[in-house]
Structure 1
C-alpha cells in the first residue's frame, strides 16, 4: 500500500468489498480543506452522508482539544447517522466506533493496537487516533437521535508535523514501516463502521462486552482517574453493559465511570 494518492470518493469506493458495493453507496463529500468535518456535517447533508477533508483548520477532539490536521497526511472523516434509540442507548456508540476502526486496522495488517476507553485508538502505548461524537437533534418521545461521528487517524504524518502535540503519539507509517494508501484504509474503516452502525439498534451489550475485552488496552492496568478536580486510582476491570468504565479502586470498591480522564500510571 505504498502510495500518496489524494483522497477521492471514487478511489475509496473501489476498495469496498463486492458485498458492500452491492448496497447503496454512501454519499461522500471530499474537501481539500475545512474548518472541521464534524462542523460541516452538523450544518449539511442527510443521515448516512460522509464528509472527508484533506486538511482541517479547526479540527477538535474530546473536551474541546485541538486536533492537529496537516494536509494530505492523515484521515479526517465524519459520518452523520440517525438512530431509533433512546439517548441512553447511545452510551456504547463511541466504543462501537472504536472497534470498527480497530478491525479495519487489523485488516491492513497492523498488530499491537487497541482501543482506550472511551474514544482513542492506541498502538503500543501511544495515541494513533481519536473519535468525537456530537449530537445534533434528539426526540426522546420518538426515540430518534441524530449524531455526527467524527474520527481522526494519524496515517503518514512525520514526527516533524506533530511537534506541538502534547502527548505521546504515533502514526501508522511508523508502526508499519511503510506509507499507507489512505483511500484503501478509509474504505475499510467506512465499511466496518457503516455495517456496525446499521446493526447498532440490535446490539447485544453482553456480547459487546466480550468483544471489547479483546481490544481493551486498559484492562488490568493501574490507572489514574481524573474527574471533577479529584484524583483516584485503581485497576481497570473492563466495561459494564452501558459502556461505563469499571475500575476496582484501591479501597476494593468497584466504581463505574461514564466520563473521566484516564491515565496509565507509570
Structure 2
C-alpha cells in the first residue's frame, strides 16, 4: 500500500497536560489499517499518526478474527502511539482506549455502552466495537504501539455468522451518523485519557473502567484461557489490567488474557 494512495491531513489537538498532533492518512480501501500503520511506524511516523480506511478487505481483531468492514458503514482506523513506558505497561493502552470509546458512545451518542474485558465494547450484550493492540519493542523499551479500533456505526445488517452477536449505532438508535465526526470525538477523549494515564498512572483509568464495565466486579464469569477454563466471580482489576477472579474453590486468580463470558445466576 503506497502513501500515494492516501489523502493526507493534519490537526493539532490539545489534551490534558500535553499536545499530540493528529496526522491522518485516509484510504479508500486497505487490507488492514493496522498493517499500514505498522509500516508508517517502522518508517518513523510520529505519535498520533492515524490511518483511516473506508473499507478493509482483511481487517482483524483479537486472536486474528476477521473484522467485518463494509465500505463506508463503520470506523476502521489505527493510531500510532509511542508511550514512554516499559513494555510491561503498554498493554494497558487497550484499557485506556476502551474507556475513551465507551465514554464517547455514552456521552456523545446516548447509548449504554459496556466494556467486556479486556477491550470489547458492547451494547445490550452485542459487540459494537473492538480494539486490537499490537506492540513492537526494542531492548527494554516500547518502540511503538499500533491501536486498531473498529466501530460499527451505520451497518443495517451483518453476515449470518455474526448477526446474533454484533450491533451498530444505527441498529441501536435507528439513526445514521457521520463517521468522521465520531472519529474526531473519540480521538479527543482518547488523548485526554492517554495523558491522564501517563501523568497519573493506572489508578484513574482502572477506576473509570470498572465504572463502565459490568463484567469486572461481582459478576459470575467463565474465562477461556487457551485450553483452560476458569469459573468464578469477578472481583476487579489488578494494577496490570488483569482480571481478578475468585474461583469456585476460593482462590483468587489474576488472568492476563482470555475470553470472558457472563454466567447466569440460577435461583
Q: If the TM-score is normalised by the length of the shorter chain, which range does it land in?
A: 0.7 to 0.9
- Mapping of residues 188-207 of structure 1, within 5 Å: 188-207=185-204
- 1:254 aligns to what? 252
Contact 1:42 1:136 in 2 (8 A): no
Of Structure 1 and Structure 2, which has the larger fraction of its residues in helix? Answer: 1
- Mapping of residues 1-266 of structure 1, within 5 Å: 25-45=21-41, 46-47=45-46, 48-140=48-140, 143-159=141-157, 161-165=158-162, 168-218=165-215, 219-266=217-264
How many pairs align?
A: 251
4+ residue segments displaced more than 4 Å = 22-25
Name stretches of at least 5 consecutive residues in structure 2 with no aligned partner. 1-6
- Tell me the alpha carbon deviations over residues 80-131 of structure 1, each in whole angstroms, 9 at most, x when there is no partner: 1111111111132111110011111123232321211111001111111100
- Tell me the alpha carbon deviations over residues 33-63 of structure 1, each in whole angstroms, 9 at most, x when there is no partner: 0000000011125132100001000000001
Alpha-carbon distance, 1:248 to partner: 1.3
Look up the SS of the partner of 1:71 in the other structure: coil
Name stretches of at least 5 consecutive residues in structure 1 with no aligned partner. 1-7
Contact 1:113 1:123 in 2 (8 A): yes
Distance 1:62 1:91 in 2: 13
Contact 1:138 1:146 in 2 (8 A): no
| Higher RCO (CA 8 Å, separation ≥ 6 residues) | 1
Contact 2:133 2:146 in 1 (8 A): yes
Distance 1:172 1:178 in 2: 8
Distance 2:236 2:58 in 1: 33
RMSD across aligned C-alpha pairs, in angstroms?
2.3
Contact 2:20 2:191 in 1 (8 A): no
